[in-house]
Amino acid sequence: MADVYVVGVGIHPFGRTDGLSGLQQGAYAVRQALSDAGLDWNDVQFGFGGSDSSGNADSIVNELGLTGLPVINVKNGCATGGSAMIGAWQGIASGQYDVGVALGFDKHPRGAFNAMPAEYNLPNWYGEVGMMVTTQFFAMKLQRYMAAYGITNTTLGRVAEKAFDNAVHAEHAWRRAPVDLDTILNSQMINDPLTKYMFCSPGEGGVALILASEKKARELGRTDVRVKAAAVRTRPPGSFEVFAPSVDIERGGAPTLLASKAAFEMAGLGPKDIDVAQLQDTESGAEIMHMAENGFCADGEQEEWLAEGWSRIGGKLPVNTDGGCLACGEPIGASGLRQVYENVIQLRGLGGGRQVPGDPKTAYTHVYGAPGISGVTILQR
Amino acid sequence: MIAITEGLFTDGAQPCLIGGRHVESGRIVFPCPGGDARYAPETLPNKGTVWSWTIQRFRPKSPPYTGPEAFEPFAIAYIELTGAVIVEGPLINVAFDAITIGMPVETVLVPHATDAQGRTVMSYAFTPVQEGSTHG
């Protein structure tokens, strides 16, 4: 497989944008990414993209121009962005194309996601009795993890506190004001042990990446950021996932373990080689559990990590440098590509007040979502 | 009275959930997949222990939720039915701050809602095992 470079990135600010559809926010991101790369829409040979609830990505041609290019629609839950990137990466790595776009966008109404049982091949009673609620799963996975490994509520609060502190410096973030630890810990309880400030909110936004072959990247003078790995995995036997009426007593793996292992093998790197990481933080506990599932620490060590600030900017492994989902919100289709966008900014050294010091060279992203899917990318400068 | 769905639980003094046993591997799932010859219905143990839990503090969206409009927070848990499978369900008759992982519980049937014909719709829940209970 040939090397693939990220030659342009664009983002429509996350949050709420009245008057712009999800697709229009995606188009905004593509225009910005093209401008960043020094390319025109006419130069783009193909695209992969998607949203969860804002329609098909191929409609983007109405916004950007009827050039006839192929655009493949991706609908892969929380891994939509990651899957779009894999598609674009493979199209170039295979030698078929020189320039492609990976695109993700979304626009969700306020409140928790409103999933219906039939969409997940579940019986109606499961939703009727009140169990078709994603936040319950996150709370129950976390409750058991906390009991097993001695994770405290204070540590959950510190994850959210860090997210809001980082987002102050991220122009694309939604919630950009610091929130102190006491406020986080004492805010409204949503699903015990998780309070309001420990959950991300469904939101809006769009992200686009322009990927290119080595030849094209050289022409553009943009050979700084290379895609070293991109992998998506579904769940193995014995895993514990969103919307599970039952779970095997014999515990097994997790989709994140599989995706992480595959990506590290693909890149020829290990967790200790990573300089900055964006990890799925649907809620505070998810970031904590995903630190271990992705191999960055052992189960239980997160207490010390958060107390010592090791995952803060300037720590030994900065995590969610733009505030992650907690501060940016989660437009499902765009969320995974936001992580990659943030890593490109960090690798280029353009993070401003949130820039990871020490000239980071390797950057890791991880998404997780229903019904048990995980996507990981690794970039290298 | 009507069950929320057919084939979900047995009734009687000690109601039990009905899971599905994968005929080849022996793996047990809940509920029993309908119309799937690979699974045979399996009556699950009435008793188990709390595997994990949370409190549902906001009213789930309707649809699909059909519980009361006047919402009261409720406990929800995964229960390890001894030797069989871990199942998800509401946990009742317990103070929220008294719930612990490992707490012994048993399966009960509870009224969930009233349907359009005025019938009580029954569903299942778990309740702490009473002190001195001798049920096997």
> Which residue does chain A place closest to B18, by CA atoms?
A246
> Which SS3 state, helix, strand or coil, does residue A219 take?
helix
User: What distances in angstroms separate CA A26 from CA A23, A61, A68, A80, one per listed residue?
Assistant: 5, 11, 18, 13
Beta-carbon contacts of B112 under 8 Å, excluding residues fewer than 6 positions away, are A128, A129, B4, B66, B67, B121, B122, B123
| Rounded distance between C-alpha atoms, residue B115 and residue A147, angstroms | 40
Chosen for mutation from A128, A195, A242, A289 (greatest number of chain B CBs closer than 10 Å) is A128
A352: amino acid identity, one letter: G
Q: Which residues of B touch A248 (CB under 8 A)?
A: 27, 85-86
**Whole-number pLDDT of residue A120:** 86
**C-alpha closest to that of A133 among B60, B67, B16:** B60
**Whole-number pLDDT of residue A110:** 79
| Rounded distance between C-alpha atoms, residue B34 and residue B6, angstroms | 10
Residue A39 clears pLDDT 60, i.e. is over it: yes
Quickly list DSSP for A8-72. EEEEEEEE--TT--HHHHHHHHHHHHHHHHT--GGG--EEEEE-SSS--GGGHHHHH------EE
User: What distances in angstroms separate CA A372 from CA A240, A291, B63, B116, one per listed residue?
Assistant: 8, 17, 23, 36
A252 vs B: CB within 8 A: no
Chosen for mutation from B52, B55, B72, B82 (greatest number of chain A CBs closer than 10 Å) is B52
> Which residue does chain A place closest to B56, by CA atoms?
A191
Instruction: Give the mean model confidence (pLDDT) for residues A58-84.
Output: 94
Instruction: Give the mean model confidence (pLDDT) for residues A238-261.
Output: 93
What are the CB-based long-range contacts (under 8 Å, 24+) for A30-33? A30/A60, A30/A64, A30/A101, A30/A103, A30/A208, A31/A64, A32/A208, A33/A8, A33/A9, A33/A101, A33/A208, A33/A209, A33/A210
**Whole-number pLDDT of residue A24:** 97
Nearest to B87 among A112, A129, A246 (CB): A246
Residue B136 clears pLDDT 50, i.e. is over it: no
Interface contact B76-A112, CB threshold 8 A: no
Instruction: Give the mean model confidence (pLDDT) for residues A215-242.
Output: 94
User: What distances in angstroms separate CA A150 from CA A143, A296, A349, one per listed residue?
Assistant: 10, 18, 36
Size of interface A-B (CB pairs under 8 A): 113
**Whole-number pLDDT of residue A119:** 87
**C-alpha closest to that of A136 among B86, B98, B55:** B55
Interface pTM (ipTM) of the complex? Answer: 0.94
Burial code of A171-183, b = ≥16 C-beta within 10 A, e = fewer?
ebbbbbeebeeeb
Positive or negative CA dihedral for A284, A289, A292, A295? negative
Instruction: Give the mean model confidence (pLDDT) for residues A198-217.
Output: 97
Interface contact B113-A130, CB threshold 8 A: no
B33 vs A: CB within 8 A: no
Chosen for mutation from A110, A125, A194 (greatest number of chain B CBs closer than 10 Å) is A125
Q: Which residues of B touch A244 (CB under 8 A)?
A: 88
Residue A90 clears pLDDT 70, i.e. is over it: yes
**Whole-number pLDDT of residue B130:** 76
Instruction: Give the mean model confidence (pLDDT) for residues A339-364.
Output: 98
**Whole-number pLDDT of residue A311:** 98
> Average pLDDT, whole number, for chain B?
94
| pTM to 2 decimal places | 0.95
B114 vs A: CB within 8 A: no
Q: Which residues of B touch A191 (CB under 8 A)?
A: 54-57
Positive or negative CA dihedral for A26, A278, A142, A174? negative
B54 vs A: CB within 8 A: yes
Residue B84 clears pLDDT 70, i.e. is over it: yes
Q: Token pair of A221, please?
A: 């003078």
| Rounded distance between C-alpha atoms, residue A301 and residue A312, angstroms | 15
Positive or negative CA dihedral for A65, A69, A74, A79? negative
> Average pLDDT, whole number, for chain A?
96
- Split at pLDDT 50, 70, 90, the class of B134 is low
| Rounded distance between C-alpha atoms, residue A282 and residue A203, angstroms | 12
Q: H or E segment at A242?
A: none
Instruction: Give the rounded percent of residues in chain A with a pLDDT score beyond 90.
Output: 92
Burial code of B81-90, b = ≥16 C-beta within 10 A, e = fewer?
beebbbbbbb
Q: What are the tens digits of pLDDT across the range A262-288?
A: 999 999 999 999 999 999 999 999 999
Q: Token pair of A57, please?
A: 């990505």
